[in-house]
Amino acid sequence: MEFVLTSSRFWEIFFLFSKLGATAFGGPFAVGYIEKEVAQKRNWVSSSWFAGSLGLMEAIPGPTATEMAIYCGYMRGGIGGGILAGVCYIYPSFFMMVLLSFIYYGYGIVPSIAAFFSGISPAVVAILVDAAYRMARSSVVRPGHLILFCLGFIFCYYFKMPVLPALFLGGVLGMVFEKMNQPALWSVFPLYLLISPFPVSSFSIPWAKLGVLFAKMVKIGSMVFGGGYVIVPFMAQDFVDKLHWLTADEFLVGFGLGKATPGPLSITSAFVGYKAAGLLGAFVSTLGMFLPCFVILLSLVPYFERIRANASARAFFRGIEVVTVGAVLAAASGLIQEALVSWSSVGVALLCFFLLPFLDTTLIFVLAGACGVTVHYW
C-alpha cells in the first residue's frame, strides 16, 4: 500500500471524516460507522485489519474512535492523511460544543433554559453508571481485577488520590493479577454498593490560565485509554475539586453535551476551556486534549505489531482499564450528591437509566431536559 497524500486522497479523507465527525454519535457506534465507510464501502483496509487494529487502539492513550480515524487516514495518505483525518473528525464537534457552551453560559440564567439544563444532570449520572457497568463487563475478567476495581474507587473517592498515579498503580498490579482465574462478572456492583456512600470576558489574554488549561488537558489526553469516560474523574478532580473553574452542575452539563453531540466524547474539553477562557480557552483545551493522541499514535505506527504481541503490555493496560472503572464510579458518586437533589431528579435519573438500552443518547437528554422544564413549571 502506498502511503502518499495525493490531491484526490486529500479531498477523499477531508469529506469522509468531516461527515463522520458531524454525524457519528458515541464511541462504539462511531467506530462502526468508520469501519463501514473505510472497509466495506471504500476498501481502504480490510475488515480483519480493522478489527485487529481496534483492539490495539484500546491499549494506547486516546479516544478509540478518533484513533481509528487517524490510523485509517494514515493507511490512506501517510502521516499527512492521519493528521487530516483526525482534525476533520474533531472539528465539527468542536464548533458544536463552542456554540452550546455560548448558549449555556450566556443564557443559562433564563429560567426555562436553566431548568432544561438542570434536567440533564440526572441523565448524566445514569449514563455514567451505565458506562461503568459496560466497562466492568469487558474489563473485570479475573478475581484480581475486583481488587483493582475496589482500590480504584476507594483511592479516588475516599482518599482523593490523583487519578494518574491510581491508573499507573492499576497497570502495575494488572500484570501481577493477570494469571488469576475467571470471576463472576456481576460481582462488581455488589462490591460498589458496599464501598460507596449513599447518594444523599475580558479582551486580555490570560496566558497563565491558558498554560494551566493546556497542561491539564495534555495530561488528561495522555491517559484516555479506550473510551472517553476516563476524562470524567480527571476533569472532576482538576477543574471542579482543585481549581474550582466549574461547579459540579456545570461539569455534568458539559459532559452531557459532549455525550449528546457527534464526534469524540473528549470534546467536553472545549466546554471546560470555554468556561475558563472563552473561545481561545476552548481551542487551547481541545488542542491539549487531542495532541497526545496524534503524537503517540503516529509515533507508534511502526511498532504496533510488536506491542500487539506483548502479553505484559496487554496486562498493564488491562489493569489501567479496571482501575478506570473504579475511578469513573468514584467521580459519579461525587457528582450524584450535586445532581440528585430532589425526588424528581432521582426519578429522572432512574427513568434515563432504564431507557438507555432503547433510546439514542440525544433523545435521552432531550427527554431529561423536558422533564426538568416540566418540574420547574409544575
Q: What is the mean pLDDT of residues 13-21?
A: 93
8-state DSSP, 179: T
Asked if 248 contacts 332 with a C-beta cutoff of 8 angstroms, the reply is no
**For residue 199, what pLDDT is reported?**
47
Give residue 172's identity as a one-letter amino acid code.
V
Residue 346: predicted pLDDT: 82
Strand, coil or helix: what is 225?
strand
Grid cell 444532570 is found at 121
Return the DSSP state at 132: H
* Selected residue with higher pLDDT from 117 and 185: 117
DSSP 238: I
Q: Which residue has the higher pLDDT, 190 or 288?
A: 288
Highest mean pLDDT among 198-207, 250-259, 352-361: 250-259
Tens of pLDDT, residues 48-87: 778 767 767 766 778 888 999 999 999 999 899 999 999 9
Exposure on the CB side of residue 113, measured as CA atoms within 13 A: 11
How high is the pLDDT of residue 28?
A: 56
Q: What is the pLDDT of residues 184-213, one digit of tens each?
A: 444 566 666 666 665 444 446 788 899 999
Q: What pLDDT does 261 receive?
A: 79
Which has the closest alpha carbon to 267: 63, 35, 102?
Answer: 63
pLDDT averaged over the chain?
79
Kindly tell me if the per-residue pLDDT of 27 is higher than 90: no
Q: Which of the 8 DSSP states describes residue 159?
A: S
- How many other C-beta atoms are found inside a 10 Å radius of the C-beta of residue 110? 10
pLDDT at 167 exceeding the cut of 70: yes
**Confidence (pLDDT) at 200:** 44
What pLDDT shows up at residue 361?
Answer: 67
Per-residue pLDDT reduced to its tens digit, 121-161:
777 777 777 767 776 776 777 777 778 888 888 877 777 77
Count the Cβ atoms, other than its own, within 10 Å of residue 185: 14
Q: What is the pLDDT of residues 257-284, one digit of tens each?
A: 887 777 888 899 999 999 999 899 999 9
- Classify burial at 4, counting beta carbons within 10 Å of its beta carbon; exposed 0-12, middle 13-18, buried 19 or more: exposed
Buried b (16+ CB within 10 A) or exposed e, 247-258: ebbbbbbbbbbb
Q: How many CB atoms lie within 10 A of CB 218?
A: 17
pLDDT band at 338 (very low <50, low <70, confident <90, very high): low
CA atoms within 13 A on the CB side of 283: 3
Q: Strand pairing partners for 225?
A: 61
Residue 313 has pLDDT above 90, yes or no: no
Per-residue confidence at 165, pLDDT binned at 50, 70, 90? Answer: confident
Mean pLDDT across 26-44: 80
Confidence of residue 226 (pLDDT cuts 50, 70, 90): low
Q: Kindly state the percentage of the chain with pLDDT values over 90.
A: 21
The DSSP annotation for 343-368 comes to HHHHHHHHHHHHHTTTS-HHHHHHHH
Q: DSSP letter for 241, please.
A: I
Q: Domain map of the chain by residue range?
A: 7-87, 92-376
Is 61 strand, coil or helix?
strand
- What CA–CA distance (Å, rounded) separates 192 from 195? 5
The reported pLDDT for the residue numbered 181 is: 56
Contact (CB, 8 A) for 236 and 251: yes
> How far is it between the farthest Cα atoms of the chain?
63
Instruction: Calculate what percentage of the chain has a pLDDT beyond 70.
Output: 79
- The whole-number pLDDT of residue 322 equals 75
Q: 336-371 as b/e, with b when 16 or more CB fall inside 10 Å?
A: bebbbeeebbbebbebbbeebeeeebeebbbbbbeb
Supply the pLDDT for residue 349.
Answer: 83
Supply the pLDDT for residue 201: 44
| Res 202: pLDDT | 41
Q: Looking at residue 41, what DSSP letter applies?
A: I
Partners of 320 in beta bridges:
none
Rounded CA separation 140/123 (Å): 25
